[in-house]
Amino acid sequence: MLIEQFFDPGLGHASYLVADPDAGVAFLVDPDRHIDAYLAAASRLGVLITDSFETHVHNDYVSGSRALAELRPITVHAGASAEIAYPHSGHADGDVIQVGELAVRCIATPGHTPEHVAYLVSDRRRSDDPQYLFSGGALLVGHIARVDLLGPEIGAKLARSAYDTLRERVLPLADYVAVFPTHGGGSACAAEVAGSRWTTLGFERLHNHIARAATGDFGTFRAVIAEGLPVAPAYYPHVRTMNAKGAQLSSRSPLPLLREPARGAALIDPRPPHLFGAGHRREALNVVGNDSFAVRVGAIVPFGTPVVILTLDADQAQRLRAQLAVIGFDDVRGYVSPEPAPGDEPLRIEQLDARAAASRASDGAVLLDVREDSEWRAGHAPGAIHIPYEVLRERAREIPAGRPIVTYCAGGIRSSLAASILEAAGRDVANMRGGFTAWRSAGLPASRET
């Protein structure tokens, strides 16, 4: 048995190709839309993908199971209660699916979502005893996946389900069982996750504070799982709906180079903050084109809005379009120069070092911290206002009017995005270069009040 993990660091998403090379077959667990990567790996290993297993209806990325099923005669598997509209095989707790000599047992593990299942795998050439758990969100490395994404009312029920799942279904498994979760570091489906991308039941039983809390009373467990959760990106409910219907293949046609942006499109400038700040188009949003590009676009651009990428690098435009497809942003109209149209003056956002930002604050500027709650509680600039960038548009009225603003995050990237949002709303704004890391390095004071 061979296991190959595919990890998207921007989404914190792990998917798996599990192969029986002797039988020449393989299956996938929680694949995303980048199906070419799975097909290439299967070809390299000399196996045929026959099955795809979904642990739940995902919020954070678009599943590739239906798209792959359009290209190959595969069977898609999910829990019996999963409300999936496309052809699939729904499995009750305890059902066993055979793929070559690999026995895949479906285990009902509600918590992260109501329909959630995990898959316990045995390589029968060695033993019928289970050796591997593809846990989805039921157990992560150092944590579990959050239970609040479907709303507060059902979240209360899911918290109890997650508690029971750990106590009755997951933690009783043998210490040696290897655990391969779907959510890892960088995923907004959980609070902070440890850096490792796989673990064992025995290790998590000893060192996972959520697993330890599950051995105690439910009230304590529920309080612990609510700590440190990031803002859930606004696109999450829309992607869950897409996955329930079944997403088709994303477009592979080349993006056109445009003369001018499409009317009504979100203008996304992927350049680094210092280049964006030096001159950019009116209403451009500075979403740096790194691994987190798609998540940040999905957090601040309404789902379904057309997108134009401000770059003259065709390869970069294609790469960023592929990232957006994984969160369901399929309406990318093309790419265009980040320089303003002839006759338009470029807009500029000043990039301040930490000491200059502190001086501006002393002169009356508002320091705006756009990081997550957990980062804010760990330390922030004294007197700063805290509004995570994901909800900045909705809460911008909390920023005092008539005063200049200096945005900051951990390193200056999220705060440049926040600055571009505020600039588009007509505010006088600068960005702190290097973020709170630079603030601390400069020896400036920090506060921990909430």
CATH number of the CATH domain containing 256: 3.40.250.10
Residues 228 and 86 reside in one and the same domain: yes
Number of independent structural domains in the chain: 3
Residues 316 and 420 reside in one and the same domain: no
Average pLDDT over residues 425-431: 97
Residues 148 and 78 reside in one and the same domain: yes
Residues 99 and 23 reside in one and the same domain: yes
Residues 30 and 179 reside in one and the same domain: yes
Residue 330 has pLDDT above 90, yes or no: yes
Of all residues in the chain, the percent with pLDDT exceeding 70 is 100
Q: What is the CA radius of gyration of the chain?
A: 23
Instruction: Please identify, among 175, 206, 237, the residue that sits at the C-terminal boundary of a domain.
Output: 237
Spell 415-449 as b/e; 16+ CB within 10 A means b: bbbbbbbbbbeebebbbbbbbbebbeeeebeeeee
Residue 211 has pLDDT above 90, yes or no: yes
How many of the other CB atoms lie within 10 Å of CB of 123? Answer: 18
Is the CB of residue 345 less than 8 Å from the CB of residue 282?
Answer: no
pLDDT tens per residue across span 63-78: 999 999 999 999 999 9
Distances (CA, A) of 294 to 288, 330, 349, 352, 423: 10, 11, 23, 27, 21
Residue 132: inside a domain, yes or no? yes
Residue 344: inside a domain, yes or no? no
Residue 108: inside a domain, yes or no? yes
Residues 283 and 361 reside in one and the same domain: no
Residue 229: inside a domain, yes or no? yes
Domain hosting 412: range is 351-441
The pLDDT score that the predictor gives to residue 343 is: 85
Instruction: Please identify, among 284, 308, 336, the residue that sits at the C-terminal boundary of a domain.
Output: 336
Residue 384: inside a domain, yes or no? yes
DSSP reduced 3-state for 391: helix
Residues 60 and 176 reside in one and the same domain: yes
Residues 296 and 418 reside in one and the same domain: no
Residues 36 and 155 reside in one and the same domain: yes
> CATH number, domain at 83?
3.60.15.10
Q: How confident is the model at residue 227 (pLDDT cuts 50, 70, 90)?
A: very high
Residues 231 and 260 reside in one and the same domain: no
Residue 450 has pLDDT above 60, yes or no: no
Average pLDDT over residues 320-334: 97
CB-count exposure of residue 13 (10 Å: 0-12, 13-18, 19+) = buried
Torsion of CA 375, 378, 380, 383, to 10 degrees: 110
- Six-digit token string for 260: 């001018």
Of all residues in the chain, the percent with pLDDT exceeding 90 is 94
In angstroms, the CA 158 to CA 150 distance is: 9
Instruction: Please identify, among 216, 237, 258, the residue that sits at the C-terminal boundary of a domain.
Output: 237
Average pLDDT over residues 326-353: 95
How many of the other CB atoms lie within 10 Å of CB of 403? Answer: 12
> Which residues are registered as beta bridge partners of 14?
7
**What is the pTM for the complete model shown?**
0.94
Task: Give me the sign of the Cα torsion angle 291, 294, 298, 300.
Answer: positive
Residues 218 and 306 reside in one and the same domain: no
Residues 78 and 147 reside in one and the same domain: yes
In angstroms, the CA 404 to CA 415 distance is: 15
